[in-house]
Amino acid sequence: MSQIKTSEKWFGDRLRYVMDQRKISPTNLANDLQIDKAQISRWINNNVAPRDSTITKLREFFDCNFVWLKYGEGYPYPPEFMRTEPNIGGNQRWKDSTQDTSVSNFQDQKKTREMENILSEIKREKFKLHCGTFFEDLFDFIADSYGEDKEGAEAFLDELQRIHPKFKHWDEEKKRAKRDRMVTSGEDVSGVDER
C-alpha cells in the first residue's frame, strides 16, 4: 500500500463516484473483490491509495478508465459513441476497436493514442519522482569530473557513447528523428548533429 501522492490525493472521491454509479456499497465491494472493508474505507477517506495492481482490479470491476481512476486524468468512462450495448449485468463495455471500421473507429483509435500518450507522460513523471536526487548527483559528478561547461558535458556524452553502445544508438536515433522533423517542417538542419 502506498502513501498518497499529490496526483492521487482524491482517489477516494473517484472510487466513491464509480461505486455510486454501480450502486455498490463498501461492504459489497469488499466481498466481491475479497478486500478488507477497512482498507476500502481508508481509500474512500483518502488516507491511503492502493497499489497499481489493486487499481487494475478496481478498474476491471467497474469497467472504468485506469488513468482517470488513479490520477483523475480524462474521463471515468469512454464517451457514449465508444460504448456498446449493456451486457446482462448492466455493465457497459468498451468497444473492440478491431471490429469497427467506421469513422468512430478512427476517433476511438485517436482517443486510445491520446490515452497512451498521457499514460506514457505519467509513467515518465513517476520515473522522475523515483529517481529523486539521482540526476542532481549525476550533474555534480559530470561537473566535478569533466568540467562545468558545454565542453565538459560533451566530453561526458562522448565517453558514454564510447562505453555504452545502447546509449550511442539511442542518441543517434534521437538526432535522426529531430533532423527528420525539421526537414518535414522546412527548418534549417545545419548544425543539428551538434549537441
Of 154, 152, 167, 143, which Cα lies nearest the Cα of 193?
A: 154
Say what the pLDDT of residue 89 is: 46
Q: Are 70 and 52 in contact (CB under 8 A)?
A: yes
Greatest CA separation for the chain: 67
Exposed e or buried b per residue across 167-179, where buried means at least 16 C-beta atoms within 10 angstroms of its C-beta: eeeeeeeeeeeee
d(CA 49, CA 4): 5
Contacts of 80 (CB under 8 A, 6+ apart): none
In single-letter form, the type of residue at position 16 comes to R
Q: Where are the domains of the chain?
A: 1-77, 82-132, 133-184
Residue the block writes with cell 548527483:
137
pTM attached to this predicted model:
0.41
Evaluated on CA atoms 7, 51, 82, 14, the torsion sign reads negative
Say what the pLDDT of residue 167 is: 84
Say what the pLDDT of residue 95 is: 47
CATH number for the region 1-77 comes to 1.10.260.40
Say what the pLDDT of residue 41 is: 92
Say what the pLDDT of residue 39 is: 93
Say what the pLDDT of residue 133 is: 74
Q: Tens-of-pLDDT digits for all 195 residues of the chain?
A: 444 333 445 889 899 999 998 899 999 999 999 999 999 999 998 888 898 889 989 988 988 888 888 888 877 876 554 444 444 444 444 544 434 444 456 667 777 778 888 888 888 777 777 777 777 788 888 888 888 888 888 888 888 888 988 888 888 888 888 888 888 878 876 765 554
